[in-house]
């Protein structure tokens, strides 16, 4: 018995449709245990392709996390969408 013929292609990092109107995925890290929060964000960030964005929602200004991302992966653009006091929303865009 043979299975169906499958052609596997690399999974794109963005949809590739050319529609700039797509919203960036949003990750609310306030619900993630502090001990794994950076690892979760770094994992999500690694799935974002060049020129794409990820919005994170944090309980404080995540400057240490931003420095960690920049040290690990190089330049990024950070846009503050909301600046506390209960939540900070930031759009991170990969260079």
Is the predicted pLDDT of residue 79 greater than 60, yes or no? yes
Confidence of residue 29 (pLDDT cuts 50, 70, 90): very high
Residue 95: pLDDT band (50, 70, 90) is confident
Percent of the chain with pLDDT over 70: 77
Find the helix packing angle between 34-46 and 63-73, rounded to 10°.
Answer: 40
- Please list the alpha-helical segments (H only) found in the chain: 34-46, 63-73
């Amino acid at each position: 018995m043979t299975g169906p013929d499958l052609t596997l292609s690399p999974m794109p990092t963005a949809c590739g449709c050319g529609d700039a109107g797509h919203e960036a995925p949003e990750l609310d890290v306030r619900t993630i245990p502090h001990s794994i929060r950076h690892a979760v964000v770094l994992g999500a960030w690694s799935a974002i392709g060049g020129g794409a964005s990820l919005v994170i929602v944090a309980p404080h200004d995540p400057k240490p996390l931003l420095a960690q991302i920049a040290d690990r992966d190089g330049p990024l653009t950070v846009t503050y969408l909301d600046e506390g006091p209960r939540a900070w929303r930031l759009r991170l865009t990969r260079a």
